[in-house]
Amino acid sequence: MVLDITPIKNPVAIFTLIISIILFVPYLSRKINIPSIFGLILAGVIIGPNGSGFLDNNQGVSIFGTVGLLYIMFLAGLEINMSSFVRNRNKSLFFGAATFFIPLITGFFILKYLLNFAFLPALLVSSMFSTHTLLSYPIVSRLNITRRESVVVTIGGTIITDTAVLLLLTVITTAYEGKLNGMFWLQLIVLLAVFVFVVLWGLPKIARWYFDNFQSDGTQQYVFVLVAMFLSAMLGKWAGIEPIVGAFLSGLALNRVIPSHSPLMNRTVFIGNSLFIPFFLISVGMLVNLKVLFSGPDTLIIAFVLISVAIAGKFLAASLTQWMYKYSRTDRNLIFGLSSSHAAATIAVIMVGYQIGLLDDKVLNGTILLILATCLVSSFMTEYAGRTIALYEADPVHDLTSGSERILVPVAKPESFKKLVDLALFTRLPKSDSVIYSLSIINDDNEASQTARDNRNTMEKLSAHAAAADVVVTPLTRVDINIPSGISRAAKELLATRIVIGWSGRSSTVNYFFGNIIDNLLESTRLMIMVVKINEPIVRLKHIYVMVPVNACKEVGFYGWVNALMSLSKNSGGIIKFLAPNIIMDELKTRMQAYKSFNDNNYIPYGFYPNISLLPIEIEAEDLLVAISARPSMFSFSRRQIVLPRLMTQLGTKRFMIIYPEQVDLPEITD
């Protein structure tokens, strides 16, 4: 051990330590801009027997780690879009073959003849190069380009290459045990055929029968899913293949049985991502031997070769697919970005090889560095290529001048109710049937019932204020342990189209690490959010100064906030003046031509967004300063926007608003 510390033996203390790591490490990882998967592995390195020595590899940690490994592969099969794969199966087969054979062959020759690996270790590590995990898929999801052909082909190729690698893993481990003979191949073919038939054909039928005939609660349904996963893993072992292959195939089998947006799917993914998989990642880190990194250059050389071969192999596969199907360079970069990250299947392959003694500490440590490097490359390249494609395809035009609006106004203090509702009234769309919901979130405690009655009575009295504007204001109360989650859930239940919320301006160390209410709300909903700081109700305005960032015109929610501000201008008398950089001024003017109420006097060049100390105008008491911001990964987002709320406090008592446009189309109102 690095430190002379007696390992913790108390099961409660062990579980408390690991759960605390699972709670805090993702927040810290986000703050220092590293993938949370690597943060959890690093935490395992620190607390493990080769780090501080707080924990050793006891049976409890080993069991949870094994469960997490199976769970990773199960979710990999469960979350794959099989319909997209079927539609593009030929192109997916080509890319799957390319991304399997190119890294495998390239890696094998380099490891065998450059680093002098033995045949089986070289083949096993090379197979690791062929795997990839779609860690960057959420990026393309946020950019709304998941239906692009290059994305669909990449997802389909994931099924091909990961399945092939896992089957190859079975052959390699059998060969290492000296059992690779004619009987093995016969058993593998026969038993594998029976196993695949039972799992892919039989398991879906059993699952449908169970869900149709047993009206059990969500708990029993989830237990059934666990039984299916572990039973498939055991059957896989019986068929002569690795249990992780069985877990992966069970995920594919249940893929169409469990709807992607069902409570059961949410429960399955939630428990895996919140407990089993983090537990596994920590257990992987506990195997890392820090001393090996400093024992000589061998580990660093191996890590460098692993990273180089992994990245080069995936880039060559993406380039070949681009050439074959005449894709653009940006599509090639997107394919490369999505397929270059190594995580779930990579860890699975290396862990199996390490546990049977085929690989040593140097390869294990090098693989950990490989995971970090490829995750960073994947995130950067997917973000860059995805933004380029999304910007090119952007068509943000929405007809939001009429229709139904449901505006949710969370209210923390009754005295702020009138000001926030006034703003909601002033920004509602013309000719729309608007409904405003005033929402009060109270903690789930012994006094919740009394607090709910008090808040509701107060809100009902204040709702008469809005009745004069012929707008229905419905007071609501939700009991929740968390304010952002309460607001988000209410917005989904009510099919809200917009959220108007006040901002206190308070900040703290806790908010820095865990995020304040606004930060957490932005992560949980994609609706337009208007964050306002007003000391008195808005009755009359002189100017509405709008700071517009680069690429804001290409956002899906562009016309949403424009129409809201147009309504505010009409109802308050404030003149809208756009503060925008010259590089987007022409595009902004073109977009605004549809309103026929703007001339050159409404546009002021301003290239220092979001620094309000360099504004070319003076904000007066009768003015409102509006900053258009964005959520991370959107076209107009920049890291400077993170400090935007703090910069706005420089206005002191003056009024301001920060608008986060919606990311997707607004929900359809049916009544």
Q: Do residues 351 and 424 share a domain?
A: no
Query: For residue 136, is it within any domain?
Result: yes
pLDDT digits (tens, 9 = 90+) for 53-74: 788 776 677 788 778 878 877 8
Q: Do residues 385 and 418 share a domain?
A: no
What sign results for the dihedral spanned by CA atoms 360, 362, 364, 367?
negative
Cis, peptide link before residue 610, omega less than 30° from 0:
yes
The model's confidence at residue 401, banded by pLDDT at 50, 70 and 90, is: very low
Q: For residue 534, give both structure tokens.
A: 């007003």
pLDDT digits (tens, 9 = 90+) for 502-513: 876 555 444 444
What DSSP character marks residue 340?
-
Residue in the structure block whose two tokens are 């925008």: 580
**Is the confidence at residue 143, as pLDDT, over 90?**
no
State the residue range of the domain holding 455.
403-660
Question: How large a percentage of the chain has pLDDT more than 70?
Answer: 82
Query: For residue 534, is it within any domain?
Result: yes
* CB distance 327 to 150 below 8 Å: yes
How far are the Cα atoms of 50, 75, 549, 562 from residue 591, in angstroms, in the given order? 60, 43, 15, 10
Q: Do residues 150 and 294 share a domain?
A: yes
Give CA–CA dist 469/483, Å, rounded.
Answer: 29
Q: Do residues 411 and 369 share a domain?
A: no
How would you list the strands of the sheet with 575-580, edge to edge? Answer: 472-479, 432-442, 403-410, 498-502, 528-533, 655-660, 624-628, 543-547, 575-580, 603-605
The whole-number pLDDT of residue 628 equals 92
Q: Do residues 154 and 116 share a domain?
A: yes
Split into its structural domains, the chain has a count of: 2
What sign results for the dihedral spanned by CA atoms 348, 349, 354, 360?
negative
Number of H helices, E strands in the chain: 27, 10
Question: By three-state DSSP, how is residue 609 classified?
Answer: coil
Q: Do residues 499 and 350 share a domain?
A: no
Q: Last residue of a domain, which of 338, 369, 393?
A: 393
CATH of the domain at 293: 1.20.1530.20
Q: Do residues 372 and 421 share a domain?
A: no
Q: Do residues 606 and 653 share a domain?
A: yes
The model's confidence at residue 1, banded by pLDDT at 50, 70 and 90, is: very low
Query: For residue 168, is it within any domain?
Result: yes
pLDDT digits (tens, 9 = 90+) for 301-343: 888 888 999 999 999 999 999 999 989 999 999 999 988 888 7
CATH of the domain at 488: 3.40.50.12370
**Is the confidence at residue 665, as pLDDT, over 60?**
no
Q: Do residues 366 and 411 share a domain?
A: no
Query: For residue 3, is it within any domain?
Result: no
pLDDT digits (tens, 9 = 90+) for 605-641: 998 888 888 888 888 888 899 999 888 767 788 777 7
The whole-number pLDDT of residue 338 equals 87
Averaged pLDDT for residues 347-355: 80
The model's confidence at residue 514, banded by pLDDT at 50, 70 and 90, is: very low
Q: Last residue of a domain, which of 364, 393, 422?
A: 393
CB neighbour list of residue 208: distance below 8 Å, 6 or more residues apart: 257
**Is the confidence at residue 517, as pLDDT, over 80?**
no
Q: What are phi and psi of 4, to 5 degrees?
A: -85, 80
How far are the Cα atoms of 60, 243, 357, 505 from residue 347, in angstroms, in the given order? 20, 14, 15, 44
Query: For residue 507, is it within any domain?
Result: yes
Give CA–CA dist 37/278, Å, rounded.
Answer: 8
pLDDT digits (tens, 9 = 90+) for 354-381: 888 888 878 888 887 888 788 778 878 8
What sign results for the dihedral spanned by CA atoms 177, 183, 186, 190?
negative
Query: For residue 6, is it within any domain?
Result: no
* CB distance 184 to 192 below 8 Å: no
Query: For residue 563, is it within any domain?
Result: yes
How would you class 619 by CB atoms within 10 Å of its CB: exposed for 0-12, middle for 13-18, buried for 19 or more?
Answer: middle
Query: For residue 668, is it within any domain?
Result: no
The model's confidence at residue 394, banded by pLDDT at 50, 70 and 90, is: low
The whole-number pLDDT of residue 577 equals 93
Specify the range with the lowest mean pLDDT, choosing from 98-107, 145-154, 257-266, 546-555: 257-266
